[in-house]
Chain A
């Protein structure tokens, strides 16, 4: 059992790899744990995993509920191994923001007008649009930076927000960018 744990990827909802990351299956073998991406991140978004993370120890992660990624793209420039591939802001696909329409107070029929996620999205009107004042994510353009998650005013009991970044597209970024 303990062996399985050391092989389980830490990437999950709202816990993401920095921009441009290679396939999660390759990540621990390609990343040399130099810590440059952690060092260069001006916001402190990227943090290295500690010793308890098995083979993932020392690899960089972004917890978007704490500090999201502001897409300054510095980490991809300094990565010496190409584990974080040198991509542009628009190409980034750390994950996909998914709105939980039952938790979102604008969607669930409460008499509330909240569109914080729309307001703070760096690609407002492209990655998030408003459908009669209710936010809708456009999956093709969402970079998964997590700003919306960080700003979301609803926190559910399980710690998730009403909008969460799922790492589902993280491995297939290039395929999508080529579309």
Chain B
């Protein structure tokens, strides 16, 4: 009696106009119902609404996207999708009336936008960038990209910026989400990205989930974790460490609720227990580990580490952590962690978005190295990623100011010259100094040091912490802003030139998800109006720049891609150059993963995949293990089963770091007595410029709210639905309250998707950042809350294009 998929689509489509009362959304749903009959064709692709990398198929009928479904053969999602993944076809092609369809331009930011032709738009973009370079130098221009752009797009953007415009001002929003994870992996393991894969979910017997609400942020992966737990109720343990009780905590055997910012102490205390109770793996330590400390990476002994960790007795740390933490709980967690057959740690922004995010990452890795919970089935230190292509495009593709494609550092002369040689451009073309990192980049916009910036596929006006401060700079008339996007956002409001781009399935490209897996999505429907793929824009823009600046090297950067049609041939040529030339011989070798191979597989290929045969098997499941990873065999130097050949650790050891407890940049005080933390809700993604435009998702969560602990609510006289003012030293929001035992006492939690000025929580958050990874501390700042009124009717809000 199950309801068929098609009926479901019909049903979601049958929402009547009356049911939108109270929601003024300019969308009609009638369009979809007529087409939900038999399929014309199904096209394989990847979901773009989180970092899980779920494989799905798009149904296309008469050239129109009509439905999405999961692919059961896929090794990431096994056919499951969440509601975001099931519904985003409503944004494709002509399905959504609000899609940007024509280039829009205004000379001054106080003028209205006018529609212009592509020819003129690209002329303007190249003239402005050329003018800025001539007048203010190469470092006055910048590119700010996205973990949602295809690898091909990030790659060609950074190639033109670095090789062509001679600047390393190439950044992307992954700086805001996983830069600390990169720092952690490189400093602890010597190589970026996780060692294992999702396949460990089915093999792990202890999950240590810290700083991640997997149930909402990665629902499809959470299903696998939950399945594992439910099928093995007694043998599989789940430990959840989080200052907030989240849906993830519901399956936990042990919930460690510590006060925000005390995570480093907690992790060190677990290490203390492991050392004290001799739970560590001596052989593993002897063969593979080293102890390091300080900025100079000084080598120290095990004794020194033990002396350092003496300071973190569970009894003392329980007092530091507060919340519900007791010494017994820490001991229990450490015991489960060390003793299980395979322990898998999972974390996301709770750990990464800390002013000591890299340290927090190091301390999780420490536990794994100490206990030897690595490289075995089910044993892994696994950082989940928030965006679909933060790993593939930005971490691997060279989308940050200090890295070049394929994990090469800008400041390493040898590697930089290698890239110049591979690109066929003169040596010394790429500057040796890394560019501005994200926070410095927008600070430079504020100070007028950057005069022209291209923002692609992201909305920093809403997603930067303390965004009011940075919006001021973006409003400057002397800063020329190009924004390429599919919908109007908070950032297009500050642009001079808006370029309409093609959405996923309207162009071809590769996404690389959390587990080193690259997956191809081929074009299936036409983009609406004149929207174009970014790769085409960059090529045409670069050709014009070359003329304007009279610099043939810029042309040289896009020469291999000349004359290719932009929907398939062009991204394919870029992917070929990137994988065959740049990744060959590097630790993320993708040279076996050609478009042909990727198209053959139901899911994708996990690097290292140095040959086509290996890639056709799906690539490498676990890195560094001889017999499982072809590079581990190739680079083997001794007979040990694990070969940690990562490029950052020449001694081929895993490093255990001595990292002390460090609190957040801003602590609550008498004026601002509450901790403020932010996060995501299952039905909305990031700035909700896409999910907000899907009626079903918007109806379910029309606006953000603030979660207040019932005890605090009682003390402050706050009732559910009351309007609450959340004020910090930087800004204020007024949101409805939800009284809920989620956040611990003395802490409030706000969802950050809302585009309304009154409910945009990044106006309140703090822009302090990790000195190592430069990732801002979104998760913790001090605020005060006050009830301002009883419940008020609220309207959902989205940025619309003013005609």
Q: Which residues of A contact B (CB under 8 A)?
A: 42-44, 65-67, 70-72, 74, 89, 102-103, 105, 108-116, 119-120, 122, 124-125, 130, 132-133, 150-157, 159
CB distance from A126 to the nearest CB of B (A): 10
B790–A113 CB distance below 8 A: no
CB distance from A13 to the nearest CB of B (A): 14
Bound CA span A44–B22, Å: 8
Cross-chain pairs A/B with CB under 8 angstroms, 12 sampled = A72-B720, A108-B3, A110-B2, A111-B79, A113-B81, A113-B83, A113-B223, A122-B738, A130-B250, A150-B699, A155-B15, A156-B11
Task: State which of A72, A89, A111, A153 has its C-beta within 8 Å of the C-beta of B70.
Answer: A111
- Chain B residues within 8 Å of A108, by CB: 1-3
Q: Give 1 or 0 for each of B721-738: 1 = CB within 8 Å of chain A CB.
A: 100000000000000001
Q: A111-B70, A156-B14 are in contact. Are A120 and B721 (CB under 8 A)?
A: no
- Chain A residues within 8 Å of B26, by CB: none
Residues in B65-124 with C-beta less than 8 Å from chain A: 69-70, 72, 78-83, 86-87
Task: State which of A71, A110, A116 has its C-beta within 8 Å of the C-beta of B5.
Answer: A110
Bound CA span A114–B2, Å: 16
**Which of B3, B22, B719 has its CB near the most chain A CB atoms (within 10 A)?**
B3
CB distance from B594 to the nearest CB of A (A): 30
CB distance from B90 to the nearest CB of A (A): 12
Q: Give 1 or 0 for each of B675-698: 1 = CB within 8 Å of chain A CB.
A: 000000111000000000000110
- Chain B residues within 8 Å of A115, by CB: 682
- Chain B residues within 8 Å of A152, by CB: 700
Bound CA span A116–B694, Å: 14
- Chain B residues within 8 Å of A70, by CB: 720-721, 791
Bound CA span A156–B33, Å: 12
- Chain B residues within 8 Å of A133, by CB: 223, 226
B19–A155 CB distance below 8 A: yes
- Chain B residues within 8 Å of A157, by CB: 10-11, 14
B3–A155 CB distance below 8 A: no
- Chain A residues within 8 Å of B682, by CB: 115-116, 119
- Chain A residues within 8 Å of B78, by CB: 111
Number of interface residues of B (CB under 8 A): 51
Bound CA span A119–B216, Å: 10
- Chain A residues within 8 Å of B699, by CB: 150-151, 153
Question: At the interface, yes or no: B199 with Cβ under 8 Å from chain A?
Answer: no
Bound CA span A111–B68, Å: 11
- Chain B residues within 8 Å of A124, by CB: 740
Residues in B641-664 with C-beta less than 8 Å from chain A: none
Q: A110-B8, A112-B81 are in contact. Are A72 and B791 (CB under 8 A)?
A: yes
Closest to A106 in B: B83
Residues in B1-43 with C-beta less than 8 Å from chain A: 1-3, 5, 8, 10-12, 14-16, 18-19, 21-22
CB distance from A151 to the nearest CB of B (A): 4
Bound CA span A155–B13, Å: 7
A154–B8 CB distance below 8 A: yes
- Chain A residues within 8 Å of B1, by CB: 102, 108
Closest to B78 in A: A111
- Chain A residues within 8 Å of B86, by CB: 112
B681–A103 CB distance below 8 A: no
A153–B696 CB distance below 8 A: yes
A151–B10 CB distance below 8 A: no
Q: Which 5 A/B pairs are nearest by Cβ-Cβ distance? A: A151-B700, A153-B696, A111-B79, A116-B700, A72-B791
Task: State which of B14, B80, B701, B738 has its C-beta within 8 Å of the C-beta of A112.
Answer: B80
Bound CA span A43–B791, Å: 8
Q: A113-B223, A119-B683, A156-B14 are in contact. Are A42 and B791 (CB under 8 A)?
A: yes
